[in-house]
Amino acid sequence: MRIDVITIFPEMFKAVLDASIIKRAQEKGVLQIALHDLRDYTHDKHRSVDDRPYGGGPGMVMRPEPIFEAVEAIKPATCRTVLMSPQGERLSTSMAQRLSAVDRLIVICGHYEGVDERVKTLVDESVSIGDYVLTGGELPAMVLIDAVARFLPGVIGHAQATDEESFAGGLLEYPQYTRPPVFRGMAVPDILLSGDHQQVAHWRKLQSVAKTLQLRPDLQGGT
């Protein structure tokens, strides 16, 4: 899979893309990430990507011309394009899994007060990572890349790892324990030490349901 990111701050991505699972995915050739500086597609001496909004109001709006030129320069015949925006659909496990199935993905990072509305004619969907506003789309883009990459074959060591995580099947993940069996008076539940895989699976399911009802009753699995 190849992901092209259009941003005015490509330097922000280095720490995330050059570490941990994302780095290993690129080294394996499973994932390719290309960063494109939006200012390279401007034509004035100041390399301006924003301007005042028509109709007045605070802040600045990202101009359409550089974004259109950037997308048109890098977009192949088959590709999916997303805009990181607080107005978009909230990122979910199912969305990340769906996006991981495409061969090419272009991610546009919004900034300032947002992008010129005409930019939305370029994209297939807008994506948000939550009901809050950040200073730009770079951090949300990194979150999206990480969430999508984990579904690519060979990225996560255990093939079933993503099947049992929180939000898979509409439930939060069950409690996890490791050694030692007793730590500062807190013991691992006996069922997990029993070796009875069927009973362990049943216990984990009940724990997932209970945790979801308590913490996130809005999730499908908790209703």
pLDDT digits (tens, 9 = 90+) for 3-38: 999 999 999 999 999 999 999 999 999 999 999 999
Q: What is the pLDDT of residues 135-157, one digit of tens each?
A: 999 999 999 999 999 999 989 86
Domains of the chain by residue range: 2-149, 164-222
200 vs 84, 169, 194, CA distance in Å? Answer: 40, 18, 8
Q: The domain 164-222: what is its CATH number?
A: 1.10.1270.20
Q: pTM above the 0.75 mark?
A: yes
54-68 average pLDDT score: 95
Same fold, 2-149 and 164-222: no
Which phi and psi angles does 175 have, rounded to 5°? -65, 145
Q: How far apart, in whole angstroms, are the C-alpha atoms of residue 148 and residue 128?
A: 14
Question: Which H or E run contains 99?
Answer: helix 93-99
CATH fit for domain 2-149, picks 3.40.50.300, 3.40.50.1110, 3.30.930.10, 3.40.1280.10: 3.40.1280.10
Are 1 and 31 in contact by the 8 Å Cβ rule? The answer is yes
Contacting residues for 171 by C-beta, under 8 A, at least 6 apart: 208, 209, 211, 212, 219, 221, 222
